[in-house]
Structure 1
Amino acid sequence: MRRSVKYRLLFLLSAIMIYCAGFQWLPESMEAGNALGLTIAATIGYFVLLPAIYAYSIIHVGQQKWWKMIVILSLSSLMARLSFPAELASYFEFIAWLRYPIIAVLLVIELYLMVSIVKGLWQARSLKGDPRLHIIDKYRGEDEKKQTLALVLASEPASWYYAIPWFSRNHSNILANINLYSAKLWHWFLLITAALCVSALSYIVIASWSELVALIVSSILAYSLVAVTANYRISRHFSVYIQDNKLVLNNSMWGFLAVKLDDIESIKQGKWAKTLANKGNSTQSDMLIFGRGKTANILLTFKQPQTYFGALGQLPEKVEKIYLVVDTPKELQQHLHPLLSAQAFSTEELSKEASSDDSEKERLNKAS
Structure 2
Amino acid sequence: MRSAIKLRVSFLVCAIACFWLGVHFTPETLVTTSAEILLASIAAVYFVLLPILYWFWIIKAGKQPKWKLLLIFSLSSLVARLSFPAEFASYFEFVMWVRYPLIAVLLVIELYLVVTVIRGLWQARSLKGDPRIGVVEQYDASDEKQRSLAMVLATEPANWLYAIPWFSRNHVTALAHIPLLSSRVWHLLLMLVGCIALSGISYYLIASWNDIVALIVSSIIAYSVILLVANYRVSKHYSLYIQDEKLVINNGLWGFLLVPLNLVESAEQGEFDKSALAEQLCIGRAQHFNLKLNFATDVTYFGSFGHLPEDFTQVYLAVDSPETVIKRVSLDPEDVTKQVA
TM-score range, shorter chain: 0.7 to 0.9
- Whether 1:294 and 2:283 are equivalent positions in the alignment is no
| Separation in 2, partners of 1:218, 1:92 | 27
Q: Which amino acid aligns with 1:240?
A: L
CA contact (8 A) 2:247 2:259 kept: yes
What residue number does 2:323 align with?
330
Match of 1:61, SS state, is helix
Q: Is the 8 A contact 1:309 1:317 kept in 2?
A: yes
Deviation larger for 96-105 or 317-326: 96-105
Where does residue 349 of structure 1 map in the other structure?
none
C-alpha contact 2:245 2:333 (8 A) present in aligned 1 = no
Q: How does 1:172-191 map to 2 (within 5 A)?
A: 172-188=172-188, 191=191
Distance 1:151 1:129 in 2: 15
CA distance in 1, matches of 2:112, 2:224: 27
Show the counterpart of 1:311. Answer: 304
Q: Which residue is 1:353 aligned to?
A: none
User: 3-state SS of the aligned residue for 1:305?
Assistant: strand
SS at match of 1:6: helix
The residue correspondences of 1:261-300 to structure 2 (distance < 5 A) are 261-277=261-277, 285-300=278-293
Tell me, what secondary structure is at the counterpart of 2:165? coil
TM-score normalised according to structure 2 size:
0.79
Q: Quick check: 1:121–1:154 contact (8 Å CA) kept in 2? A: no
Q: Which amino acid aligns with 2:21?
A: A
Mapped contact 2:116–2:156 kept (Cα < 8 A): no
Q: Given residue 328 of structure 2, which amino acid in structure 1 is its aligned partner?
A: H
Match of 1:91 in 2: 91
Instruction: Using the TM superposition, give the Cα deviation of residue 79 of structure 1 relative to its aligned residue in structure 2, in angstroms.
Output: 2.1
Q: Which has the larger radius of gyration?
A: 1
Q: In 1, Cα distance between the equivalents of 2:113 and 2:194?
A: 34
- C-alpha spacing 1:194/1:104, structure 2 compared with 1 (3 Å): closer
My pick for the range that moved more, 45-54 or 147-156, is: 147-156
165-174 or 39-48: bigger deviation: 165-174
- CA distance change for structure 1 residues 20 and 305 in 2, over 3 Å: closer, same or farther? same
3-state SS of 1:47 partner: helix
1:252 equivalent to 2:245? Answer no
Q: CA deviation at 1:130?
A: 1.4
Instruction: Verify the 8 A CA contact 1:124 1:134 in the aligned structure 2.
Output: no
Match of 1:44 in 2: 44
Change (3 A) 1:68 1:250: same
- Corresponding residue for 1:61? 61
Query: What secondary structure does 2:330 align onto?
Result: helix
Whole-Å separation in 1 of the counterparts to 2:112 and 2:216: 27
Partner of 2:134: 134
Q: Which residue of 2 aligns with 1:348?
A: none
Per the TM alignment, residue 91 of structure 1 is displaced from its structure 2 partner at its CA by 2.1
Gap change, CA 1:55 and 1:99, over 3 Å in 2? farther
Q: 1:72 to 1:114 in 2, by over 3 A?
A: farther
Residues 113 and 146 of structure 1 are in contact (CA less than 8 Å); yes or no, is this contact kept in structure 2?
Answer: no
Query: Structure 2, unaligned stretches of length 5 or more?
Result: 204-212, 337-341
Q: SS where residue 253 of structure 1 aligns? A: coil
2:162 pairs with 1:162: yes
Percent identity of equivalent pairs: 51
The CA deviation at 1:182 is: 2.5
Aligned counterparts of 1:160 and 1:111: Cα–Cα separation in 2: 17
- 1:230 and 2:230 equivalent? yes
After superposition, give the CA deviation of every residue in 1:204-246 in whole Å (9 maximum; x if it has no partner).
xxxxxxxxx9999998777655444433332222111111221
In structure 2, how many angstroms separate the alpha carbons of the residues matched to 1:128 and 1:166? 11
Separation in 2 of the partners of 1:117 and 1:225?
14
CA apart distance, 1:190:
5.0
Take 1:194 and 1:114, find their aligned partners in 2: how far apart are those partners? Answer: 24
Matches within 5 A, 1:76-87: 76-87=76-87
